Amino acid sequence: MATTAPWRSGPCDAVAPWVTFAASLLGLLAFVFCIANLIGFLSGWWALAAAYPHTGHFGGTRRRFQSLLLRAGSYRNSVTIGTNAEGLYLVASMLFRIGHPPMFIPWEDISAKEVRGWFWTRYLELCFLRVPGVDSDVGITGPKDRRRRKPSLG
C-alpha cells in the first residue's frame, strides 16, 4: 500500500527550473534598475541631466574612471569627465548608465572653488547655475593616465 505525504504539493513543484532562474534574473535586473534610478534621483544627477541634457557626440578631451561626489551619491572611478572650450561633459560608465543620462554643462553655468581636504588632498567644489541645490566635488588629481604618450615635435 502506498503512503501519501502528510503535506500537499504546492504550485512550485510543477515549475521548471529554467522558469525559476528566469524569474530570479528578471527580479535581480528590476532591483538593479530601481536602485540605480534611486541613486540618480537622490544624488541630483537627474536634476542636472534634466537641466543640461546631452545628445549626440562629444568632441573634446575625456578622462575615464574619474571620481565625482554629488550630494549623497559617490561615484568612485565610474564617471567619464570631458572638457572642451564650451563646457563640461559628464557621463557614467556603462555599468551605471541606467538612471544616469549623459549631460553637458556650459562653462558659463559653472562656478568653482578649490577646497583643501585631509592631508594633501585637494578638490574642486562646483556649483551649477540652473540647479543651485546640487553641488559637486571633483578630485583635482585622478588616476594617472597609464597610456604612454609620444613626445610632440613642435
Neighbours of 138 (CB within 10 A): 19
Length of the chain: 154
Say what the pLDDT of residue 134 is: 84
Residue range 12-32, pLDDT digits in tens: 566 788 888 999 999 999 998
Say what the pLDDT of residue 5 is: 57
Domains observed in the chain: 45-139 (2.30.29.30)
Residue range 56-91, pLDDT digits in tens: 899 999 999 998 888 877 888 899 999 999 999 999
Neighbours of 21 (CB within 10 A): 10
pTM reported for the whole predicted model: 0.72
Q: How far apart, in whole angstroms, are the C-alpha atoms of residue 133 and residue 71?
A: 9
Say what the pLDDT of residue 136 is: 79
